[in-house]
Amino acid sequence: MGIERAVAELGVLIYPGAQMAAVHGLTDLFGVANRIAAEHQSAQLPLLRVSHWQADAEHAPKRIYDSHPAPDGALIALLIPPSIGGFSEGQAPPALIRWIRQQHAAGATLGGVCVGSILLAESGLLDGRSATTHWTSAKKFAERYPKITLNADKPIVDDGDLITTAGLMAWSELGLRLVDRLLGPSIATSTARFLVIEHSDSASECGSNFAPILGHGDAAILKVQHWLQANGAVEVSLSVMSQQAGLEERTFLRRFRAATGLKPTEYCQHLRVGKAREMLEFTNGTIDHIAWSVGYSDPSAFRVTFKKITGLTPSDYRARFGVTAPARTL
């Protein structure tokens, strides 16, 4: 008798002009990850179910393929592949935009590859957040979506529930990022090795990037999670979070921990450290400035929390994973 495993469904969107190589490549990548995970014979590892969703000009996308036919369930993630021909701003059908927003509101992580990030921008979900896109689209992207912090020089921006990538072939790294979240870094690394593709994410060497649980079904808590992700969990308090949820503080605490597996303070620490990791990798700001930017008035407390979560001090982390030289301090 086989081991009964939970199912995690990953949707791949097919829209007019979508790069089918990415659609089928992601499907194969998750299939390889499933096979490697099965070798571990662990009921704790979910089965990755891949579904394809066909979009047209007038209707919400329809499911046209399942790698493992099963009763319909909520998507854990929705991936939007690139378009070789280029996807123009303002061309997204309203029904498709509504459907994308619905998947996010239901707890799905959204991932946009290259110009696929334009669909996420059109949805408004990236407003007030950081994102990246293909360099050929960067100028128009920045002009059309001024509420989005565009980091076009970054290959991937992982903002927890919203992930964007800059390269046409970056669908492989996005797929591996989700394998890392759902099956663990060792299986992600083994999948990359089997497919002979690069997987240089710092998460595989220094603890996984924080992957919040979003598919728990508690709408009030999910609302707070999206709010925290958008503001970086800076200058928040239990009372403010409770108000966002519309719950009494004691009820909020109980439901938040039941839904996310973490206390609100722990959850906020993970979000802040995630932001700090990105700044340490891609900017040359001082560590004290980064601590302040992510919500810590005491740099010493930031250093302690950072090492507790990542296993490295901020300076060691930058030395290992930073792509720019550290700023000189006087």
Q: Which residues contact 8 (CB under 8 A, 6 or more apart)?
A: 46, 47, 48, 49, 76, 182
Domains of the chain, by residue range, sit at 7-204, 219-321
Task: Spell 78-92 as b/e; 16+ CB within 10 A means b.
Answer: bbbbbbeeebebeeb
134 vs 4, which has greater pLDDT? 134
Average pLDDT along the chain? 87
The confidence score (pLDDT) of residue 56 equals 85
pLDDT band at 90 (very low <50, low <70, confident <90, very high): low
> Quick one: average pLDDT of 9-14?
96
Give the architecture (CATH level 2) of 7-204.
Answer: 3-Layer(aba) Sandwich (3.40)
Q: Answer whether 255's CB lies under 8 Å from 247's CB.
A: yes
When mean pLDDT is compared across 100-104, 199-203, 252-256, 292-296, the lowest value belongs to 199-203
User: What are 60-76's pLDDT values in tens digits?
Assistant: 899 999 998 877 778 99
The confidence score (pLDDT) of residue 319 equals 86
pLDDT band at 1 (very low <50, low <70, confident <90, very high): very low
> Quick one: average pLDDT of 312-317?
91
Q: Answer whether 80's CB lies under 8 Å from 22's CB.
A: no
pLDDT band at 35 (very low <50, low <70, confident <90, very high): very high
Long-range pairs for 34-41: beta carbons < 8 A, 24 or more residues apart: 36/187, 36/190, 36/191, 36/194, 37/183, 37/187, 40/187, 41/3
User: What are 138-183's pLDDT values in tens digits?
Assistant: 899 999 999 999 988 888 898 889 999 988 888 999 999 999 889 8
Is 219's pLDDT higher than 90?
yes
User: What are 251-305's pLDDT values in tens digits?
Assistant: 999 999 999 999 999 999 999 998 898 788 768 889 999 999 999 999 999 999 9
Is 202's pLDDT higher than 60?
no
* CA 326 – CA 283 distance, rounded (Å): 8
User: What are 105-122's pLDDT values in tens digits?
Assistant: 999 999 999 888 999 999
The confidence score (pLDDT) of residue 327 equals 38
pLDDT band at 213 (very low <50, low <70, confident <90, very high): confident
Sign of CA dihedral 106, 155, 310, 326: negative
> Quick one: average pLDDT of 210-219?
86
CATH class of 219-321: mainly alpha
pLDDT band at 200 (very low <50, low <70, confident <90, very high): low
The confidence score (pLDDT) of residue 323 equals 60
Asked whether the whole model's pTM tops 0.75, one would answer no
* CA 120 – CA 122 distance, rounded (Å): 5
The confidence score (pLDDT) of residue 189 equals 82
User: What are 117-148's pLDDT values in tens digits?
Assistant: 999 999 999 999 999 998 888 899 999 999 99
Tell me the percentage of the chain whose pLDDT exceeds 70.
92
